[in-house]
Amino acid sequence: MSSVGVVTPFWLDRPPVEALDIALAANDTGFGTLWIGEMATFDAFALATAVGLRTSRISLKIGPLAVGVRSPVALALGLSTVVATTGRTASLALGASSPRIVTGWHGREWEPVRRMKETIRDTRALLDGNRVSGFRLQQPVPGTSISVAAFGPAMTKVAAAEGDEVVLNLVSADHVAAVRDRLAAARTAGGGTAAAGSSAAPPPIDPATAPPPPPLAVWIPAALDPGPTTLRQLRAQLAVYLAPPGYGEMFTALGHGDLVDQARQGKPRAELAAEIPRDLLEQVGAIGSAQTIADRVAAYHEAGAEHVGLVPATAEDPAGRRLLTTLSPLLTKGRR
């Protein structure tokens, strides 16, 4: 069944502690899921604990967290701590992040595909209560869902094989549909078991008997009747994503290759943001009237996203409370 949740954003022009206010607004207005990511402000597990202690019912999805930064033991300890101290349902999401964060900030080796496979398997085993590398979690959380943020083809294959859910960020509805097709193809291609001692790729699985691909979740920025200040906020954040691999190619396919080229040539982010047209914001988000936003969410569901996470713009709507209060009756009825 399709669902709609809320994402705690870290807008460049807002105080980080607003994340707690957004969590309270999401809880109070009846949304069932809150995503808690991690950028350059709070530790995600600490923030999730603070949210869990201040809210009453909303479930927590922690991440996507950079897979190369924490070990499986650290991830399992963090998730277990949140669940044990808050009494709240919580799950985990992992992503590749970027060399700048993994290697530059944390001094860790950049091997996202190999690290993702190993981390998912070992973290899942630890959360289920098994011993890994001599360590066993004292307070396991068996059955914890592990989502995978996937953009490029290599990580999409890993997500299809290992993830319980696939997460996309800042993409168009058409891109969601394309990823849905790729996930289905990845589940049938090379899914069998090669003969012992053979170096050949395992044979494909019959599509009729292949397991279904993992469900898709997508994060989209949302703004109710945005004014100039909110549009500047959205443009400033989107400008960060113009240059990175994957995002840049998607924006180019949407007809904005000139912006991508300028970003990759080093044009200052503030100048890039000023040139982002409103139609690009509309292609990868949900902005406008309440009905327009509801229709955009429906379009993502129709494209294959089982879950849509709203990233509320807050420049003119503190904590996104007006947005969430207005949309909750339209989006959460029968959906959790």
Confidence of residue 268 (pLDDT cuts 50, 70, 90): very high
Mean pLDDT (the chain) is 90
pLDDT of residue 188: 74
Residue range 275-301: mean pLDDT, rounded: 96
Q: What angle do CA 53, 58, 61 make, to 5 degrees?
A: 90
Q: Tell me if 245 sits within 8 A of 254, measured CB to CB.
A: no
Spatial CA neighbour of 94 closest among 58, 68, 126: 68
pLDDT in tens, 7-20: 999 887 899 999 99
pLDDT of residue 282 exceeding 90: yes
Tell me the CA distances in angstroms from 123 to 50, 67, 92, 142, 285, one per residue in order.
23, 11, 10, 11, 32
pLDDT of residue 334 exceeding 50: no
Residue range 255-265: mean pLDDT, rounded: 95
Tell me the CA distances in angstroms from 313 to 16, 224, 234, 281, one per residue in order.
13, 8, 7, 12
First to last CA, the chain: 9
Residue range 18-32: mean pLDDT, rounded: 96
Structure tokens at 131: 């011993």
Residue range 253-278: mean pLDDT, rounded: 95
pLDDT of residue 26: 97
pTM passes above 0.85: yes
pLDDT in tens, 92-149: 999 987 767 777 777 778 788 899 999 999 999 999 999 999 999 999 999 999 999 9
Q: Tell me if 232 sits within 8 A of 225, measured CB to CB.
A: no
Q: How far apart are CA 77 and CA 293, in angstroms?
A: 38
pLDDT in tens, 78-106: 999 999 999 999 999 999 877 677 777 77
Q: Positive or negative CA dihedral for 70, 73, 79, 84?
A: negative
Task: List phi, psi (to 5°) of 165.
Answer: -160, 150
pLDDT of residue 201: 58
pLDDT in tens, 181-211: 999 888 777 544 444 444 455 566 666 666 7
pLDDT in tens, 308-323: 999 999 999 999 999 9
pLDDT of residue 193: 40
pLDDT of residue 192: 41
pLDDT of residue 186: 82
pLDDT of residue 246: 82
Domains of the chain: 3-193+204-227+284-331 (3.20.20.30)
pLDDT of residue 52 exceeding 90: yes
